[in-house]
Amino acid sequence: MTSRALILGCAGKSLSPEEAAFFREVRPWGFILFKRNIGTPEEVRGLTDALRACIGRNTAPILIDQEGGRVQRMGPPHWPAYPAGGRYGRLNGSARTIARLGARLMAHDLADVGINVDCAPVLDVPAPGAHDIIGDRAYGTDPASVAAIGRAVAEGLMAGGVLPVMKHIPGHGRAACDSHHGLPIVESSRESLIAQDFRPFEALADLPMAMSAHVVFTAIDPEHPATQSATVIREVIRGTIGFDGLLMTDDLSMHALTGTFRERTERAFAAGIDIGLHCNGAMEEMRAVAEAAPLLAGRAAERAATALARLGPAGDGLDLPEARAQFAAALAAA
């Protein structure tokens, strides 16, 4: 049976009967977990199994934001604390090696509890004076460093059987406000955006999945945030950047977007988004989003299938205790 072009969240550490019935009816393509959903490893594994059972697909994508630093949904006491992306950027010659190892270890943690997609790497290039919503999540302050470390993180995740999602395409680094709370408007020229903000995404355009930015770029489309802009998606994301993978929205419940949830969803799909993302698990909102979201079909379905085809089991023979010790020693030495 065809999936709906949606990734949805749930409210707690286990599914309510209402949630299970809703997911069986709607059949979202995938799910996303947040800290509210994370208990013990056994509880997380039980939740991922239950989510997949609802839609009858054992390999359905289950996402999480596991970057390290302040964006880490799974952490102590059951999982290690990982550094923020900015820490890697300060390691100079060893940055790529250590970042790849850190991502490989994260992939082990995630795959062990049934999570197969990580919303990383963060490819935003922070600009001076911008809001710190990106801040130390960025791997560096120049496009080349961000791209190089971002590539290493993506490689580490995929080596561990977890798909990466690059974010926030085409760039959130100049935003003067947090898109969770308001709509960032970036007034930089197209030329400066191409030279800095878009470059890491262009360098990693071969990755399977990307998450859009709820940011207005006045030089390209002064009326609509990238998530809902046909011009940005067509000319920049698919054009200048050259990304032809699966494009999902950032969270449709964020306050950068306006209108009803039906309107937010319809605008995103009309602009050319492949998959809608709704994260907070609020049932009334999810119902409105699901009513507006299409079935996964056509080019979007092809992109989704291509992305999942790159998902495979870890095959690098990781010695977990040795790798954890190596990672800790490298960070300590640096």
Q: Tell which residue, 58, 52, 29, 32, has the closest CA to residue 297.
A: 29
Catalytic residue among 180, 181, 316, 319: 180
Is residue 278 flagged as an active site residue?
Answer: no
> Which residue out of 136, 221, 250, 251 is catalytically annotated?
250
**Of 33, 53, 29, 58, nearest in space to 246 by CA:** 29
Q: Over the chain, what HEC string results?
A: CCCEEEEECCCCCCCCHHHHHHHHHHCEEEEEECHHHCCCHHHHHHHHHHHHHHHCCCCCCEEECEEECCEECCCCCCCCCCCCHHHHHCCHHHHHHHHHHHHHHHHHHHHHCCCCEECCCECCCCCCCCCCCCHHHCCCCCHHHHHHHHHHHHHHHHHCCCEECEEEECCCCCCCCCCCCCCCEECCCHHHHHHHHCHHHHHCCCCCEEEECCCEECCCECCCCHHHCHHHHHHHHHHHCCCCCEEECCCCCCCCCCCCHHHHHHHHHHHCCCEEEECCCCHHHHHHHHHHCCECCHHHHHHHHHHHHCCCCCCCCCCHHHHHHHHHHHHHHC
Crossing angle of helices 17-26 and 41-55, in 10° steps, is: 40
The residues annotated as belonging to the active site are 180, 250
